[in-house]
Chains A and B, each alone.
Chain A
Amino acid sequence: MYRYDEFDQDFVTDRVAQFRDQVERRLSGELTEDQFKPLRLMNGVYLQLHAYMLRIAVPYGTLDSRQMRKLGDIARRYDRGYGHFTTRQNLQFNWPKLSDIPDILAELASVEMHAIQTSGNCIRNVTADHFAGAAADEVADPRPYAEILRQWSSLHPEFVFLPRKFKVAVTGAERDRAAIQVHDIGLHLKKDENGRLGFAVYIGGGQGRTPMIAKKIRDFLPEEDLLSYSEAILRVYNLNGRRDNKYKARIKILVHETGAGEIARQVEEEWERIRHGALKLPQGEVERIREYFAAPAGLAAKAPSASLASARQADPEFDAWVRQNTFPHRVAGHVSATISLKPIGGTPGDATADQMDVVADLAERFAFDEIRVSHEQNLILPHVAEDNLRAVYDGLVAAGLATANAGLVTDIIACPGLDYCALANARSIPVAQRISQRFGDIGRQREIGELKIKISGCINACGHHHVGHIGILGVEKKGEEFYQISLGGSGDENSAIGDIIGRGFSTDEIVDAVETIVDTYIARREAPEETFLAAYRRLGQGPFKEALYGTA
């Protein structure tokens, strides 16, 4: 796993000392809020609806047990005993005191973590497939490239004040689990016909007020050109992106208004100028970084586990969990296990300090000390030997973490919404909880099959509602919460923005409306194998509209 080099460590330590001084000056009255606000934002400190909020970066969602334990420790000592994992593979603490934050950052620095680049108009924390380095269907681990991008972007003086924030995602598999097509830059790591590694490059995707699917501007970019090409994209954006209007400042608007073809031409032109310069990645450098992400020592192929087979046979609930929450691993005899942070009726993405400790312990004892945060707000143990699955499961059951619902209707993404967020128009969490309860029966969930519900409390779309199979957007209408439904969105390799189905629903109506949609799907699907998304794409809006609003 990646370790800070000395440079990173010094930088982060300096940053903590600097911020400690700034906080002291703020508390003593020397700095005004206007002076302090940009400083706190650079360190991940927001002022939310009820309190300050600290957003901590988890680069490409990768953690070890020591880091997870530290997060639990911070939750317990400085916050209210829990934290919230977000769709950006970050962790948010909702109640830190400003006066404690320098100490929290120092604690984080002691385990090579920080809160830099989690806010502001810079290149944000790079996200990656949560099964990276483990998935059977992966061409190569995307994280070394995410790390190379992180190092390049961290301190890049040219890109500290972009027109707007900038998000990059990388996937190393054909099946996109990192939603790269709704990012400012999406990179799909693949091999060309000669077996060379490189990327398909997408730009201009995004959600928010104006959702856009990214455009592919290059089918194959050789690996060594990653930074020069990214720099060319950023330069074109930095120069031409709109700074006059916050709502039009993302690169998606530039790509949309200028046209993908013209933007691609400008990028290629800029790239021609710089591609042979200092940004070319020497092969040795890629290898050096790759070593940090090498598979854990001892991860070796094993015969299929006999004990697992008999344990599954003996316990249907365990069997169901294995079926739903594990994913094929590239090393025989192993799987990746999803730890659902979506208990029935719970708050999506929340984990208590004790639960963080349990996950850390299980990772350390049974999973090569690796943990991931998924953008679907779950945790992952990427490398688990089949022989150890039962022990992992038992540990999770004891901590209330063994809900067998990965990818099912109750595996809902929800942003903090009006319960926490200062920008929200409506609540997200209670809607997620009520839907989860409505569909709580596990037999029913399995009958429904794969179905992704995603909920945002305002148009900023942190809950990814645009790409939910069923997307729910909270709005305020005449002082009341209302919920607008969109159908058919998807954040995978066939990304699509959902279609708004019609007028919105009140708080009282929304859960019934979702159930009506699900029932309509069940009634109209050709076979149980036809997923909700497939059925919607075949049927269109018609039957769902009719079921929701009648024929008029």
Chain B
Amino acid sequence: MSDSIITANDLGNGLVVFLTADGGWSQRLADARVVGPDALPEAVAYGKAQHDARIVVEPYDIEVTLENGVPVPVRLRERIRAAGPTVAYGEAEIAERAALSKAG
């Protein structure tokens, strides 16, 4: 029924990562291994072991739906966490505002 993926942060650079099918971690949501309810406990345990092995930080499972085969987190928080801030930042933000004021 409901599908899940395992997420964590990379220990060294802190960036958001997802558990992949081969037991590694990827920054790409599309690479995430999607598990059903039956396989979830094993995947959570694997994530925890990776935390204990000092590979990732604070792993947890999130609920997803599949859209065109790609997992999409159900909660807004997890969608933002996976995709990055919804607002532009730094120089990109300045460029965006400049473009907007020209257009307007």
Query: A-side interface residues toward B, CB under 8 Å?
Result: 26-27, 29, 31-33, 47, 49-52, 80-82, 94-99, 343-347, 350, 352, 354, 400, 418-420, 424, 427, 429-430, 433, 476, 479-481
Contact = CB atoms under 8 A, between A and B. Distances in A.
A98 B97 contact: no
Given A26-B54, A433-B87, A47 B93 contact: no
A49 B13 contact: no
A418 B83 CA distance: 12
Nearest to B13: A97
A347 B74 CA distance: 27
A419 B80 CA distance: 7
14 contacts: A26-B11, A27-B12, A33-B51, A49-B77, A50-B81, A97-B12, A97-B14, A98-B11, A346-B93, A350-B89, A418-B77, A419-B80, A420-B85, A430-B87
Given A33-B57, A419-B87, A481 B76 contact: yes
Interface of B: 9, 11-16, 51-54, 57-58, 74-77, 80-81, 84-87, 89-91, 93-94, 97, 100
Contacts of A347: 87, 89, 93
A51 B54 contact: no
Contact of B97 (A47, A343, A420): A343
B77 A424 contact: yes
Contacts of A97: 12-14
B48 to A, nearest CB: 11
B58 A47 contact: yes
A456 to B, nearest CB: 16
B57 A47 contact: yes
B52 to A, nearest CB: 7
A354 B57 CA distance: 33
Most chain A CB neighbours (cut-off 10 Å) among B11, B90, B93:
B90
A470 to B, nearest CB: 21
A352 B9 contact: no
Contacts of A49: 77, 80-81
Contacts of A31: 54
A50 B85 contact: yes
A47 B89 CA distance: 19
Nearest to B77: A418
A345 B76 contact: no
A345 B11 contact: no
